[in-house]
Each structure stands twice: as structure tokens, then as C-alpha cells.
A = this chain, B = another copy of it.
């Protein structure tokens, strides 16, 4: 199948929030639909930590995208009406510039010489892309999970650039439970001797660390409720068991194994570390100019000049708890944004936005249709 990615050259140098700048950096992106003459129908989608720009199938790449049920003609984000753009995040490894890319100054991979990455850099870069495509103002900025924080960061730096915002299973800052999980994921990678301070290669690859990091991710992306119903205490068929007294014995264990196998070699470990740390660092309160964090968040939201917002999440999410989304929605309302809050009881945890697309699609579709 052909590759539908297009590439956008970021302004060079591209200044990074915490210092340093990228030379000759680029974003990979895909798009659906057409920008209209008034240039007011653009929808920008910022992804979670690991997805690529391939959010949905298109004429060039007919494989299903990671949000296939949400984006397309007649779907919740209707590409007959909207010009939809989804970049691979800056700092990622799916075509955009990140720690796995070649540093033009040295001709070698950046690895840990990549400058500190912040979610604001992801948001700023995505906005540059939108501007480069002729968009002066976004009809809607959609941010999923980590992308929701990147969206808030981008809007805090570019007030008024988005008319509407859809915040999907995200938050204005990470709470300590999420930081603890991500810190442990990073530590598992860093403690793998093959990580070697970022200087691994295909033959000496931190497979063990990535395996543990991914399994811990899956555990926190889903929910105990879903797993109790789906796996219970079902054992593996004896024929499927390894000859190892501590090997997988329950279905839940082989499910985790399968998830980890698909991921460990498909995502660059250094990119993972950079994006993970950026997620811990992000705090919208930095933009509020008030010592009290709650006030600071509201101040920051007020500056964004958003007209409308949809904040959606699920009760079973332990990584971005629904209480954070509820508070965000209340804060948006307080600051004058016409805001809809949708709290779903989907059992799939944080990943519900990728799985329970029927309910997410209904809520997002209704919001988008009314824009």
C-alpha cells in the first residue's frame, strides 16, 4: 500500500520552548477533504503518544487509520465538510523530526542530543503546518490524550488560532499517578543495558525495557472492569504455554505479550522517552500568571479566546481521570467558552476513544455538526 504521508518543512530554525532550535525540521502529515475558499473549514487533529499521521484511510493509503470510525465522509468528523489534517507529532518517529532523525549539523542521529521537547513544541509545530497549508484560523482543534495537552499548549501560545476545541481523554496537566507510571516506563527503558544512554541499534536494542514500558502502558490504558469481563481468570490452552515455570498462564498475560510484541520494535525508544517526559512536564497553569494553580488554569483558558469546546472522557480512565475533564469543562465555561461536557461509562479505560467509537463518534459528531 502506498504511503499517504506528505511532509511540511518547519520554519528553520524552529525554536524549542525550553531552549535550543531545530534546523531543517519537518512534520509528516496526512489530510482528508479540501480547504474551502473561505479557508474556514480546517480541523487539526493532535494524536496520543504513539499514533502516526494515518488517522483514516484515504485515496492513496486505503489501510484503516487509528481513528477510522471517526474521520471520513459522513462520519463524526465529516471530511465532506471539513478539511482534516493530522500530523505525526514533532519528536515522534513516524516521519516527523525527532530524536531518531538525522541532525543536519552532524549527519548522525540526534539521539539524546535532541533538544528538550515540550508539548508546546508539538502544538506550535502543528500550528505552523496548518498555517503553511493556508489556514488562518482553525474551525476546530481536536486533541486526543497527549495531543489534548499539546493542543492546550498550542492555544496558550497562539490565542485565537482555534475557534473550537475538542478535548478527548486529556487534561491540563498530569497528576502524580500518571507521572509515576510514565516515570517507571522511562526507567524500564533506561535500565535496559541495551539502551546504552540512547546509543542502541537494531542488534543491540532495548527490547526488554520497551516490553515492560509497553505492558505497563497497556495496563493503564485499559481498565480492570473491562478485563474482568473479557479475560476473567481464563487460562491459556496448555499447547499455547511456554515451557517456563513463570511463563504466561492466563489469557491476560498473552494479551499483554501480543501488545508488547507489536510495539517494541515499531516505536523508537528515545522518541518514547522524549514524548513521555514532555507529557509529565506540561502544565497549563504556567500560562495563567497566578500563584494558585486553579486560578492560573482558568486564566490560561480565558486567553485562548475559544468560542466552543467539547470535553469528553470516560469514568474508567485511570491515566487521565474523568474528574480532570469535568474540571476542565467547568473552567472553560467559567471563562466564557460555550462548553459541552460528556462523561461516558465506557469500560475500556483511557483507550475508550479508540475502541468505543460509537459513543465517542456520536458526541463528537453532534458537536462538529453544530459548529
Contact = CB atoms under 8 A, between A and B. Distances in A.
Interface of A: 112, 116, 173-177, 179-181, 183-184, 186-188, 190-191, 193, 208, 211-212, 215-216, 219, 223-224, 227-228, 230-233, 245-246, 248-253, 256, 273, 277, 280, 283, 318, 321
Given A112-B245, A245-B112, A246-B273, A253 B183 contact: yes
A216 B250 contact: no
One complex includes copies of this chain to the number of 2
B177 A224 contact: yes
17 contacts: A112-B245, A174-B233, A176-B232, A176-B251, A176-B252, A177-B219, A177-B224, A180-B215, A180-B256, A184-B215, A184-B216, A188-B212, A191-B211, A216-B216, A224-B321, A246-B277, A318-B318
Chain A contact residues: helix, strand, loop or mixed: helix
A346 B256 CA distance: 31
A80 B56 CA distance: 71
B186 A224 contact: no
Nearest to A116: B245
Given A224-B175, A246-B190, A277-B246, A180 B232 contact: no
Contacts of A180: 215, 219, 227, 252-253, 256
Contacts of A212: 184, 187-188, 191, 212
A186 B246 contact: yes
Contacts of A280: 249-250
A192 to B, nearest CB: 8
Contacts of A252: 176, 179-180, 183
Nearest to A208: B191
Most buried by B among A215, A233, A277: A233
A304 to B, nearest CB: 21
What 10 pairs across the A-B complex have the smallest Cβ distances? A177-B224, A176-B227, A176-B252, A176-B231, A191-B208, A183-B253, A175-B228, A180-B252, A184-B215, A180-B219
A332 to B, nearest CB: 21
B250 A176 contact: yes
A224 B173 CA distance: 14
A157 to B, nearest CB: 20
Contacts of A227: 175-177, 180
Nearest to A189: B246
A262 to B, nearest CB: 17
Given A180-B253, A187-B212, 19 more contacts: A175-B224, A176-B228, A176-B231, A177-B227, A179-B252, A179-B253, A180-B219, A180-B227, A183-B250, A184-B212, A184-B216, A186-B246, A188-B188, A188-B212, A193-B193, A212-B212, A224-B318, A249-B280, A250-B280
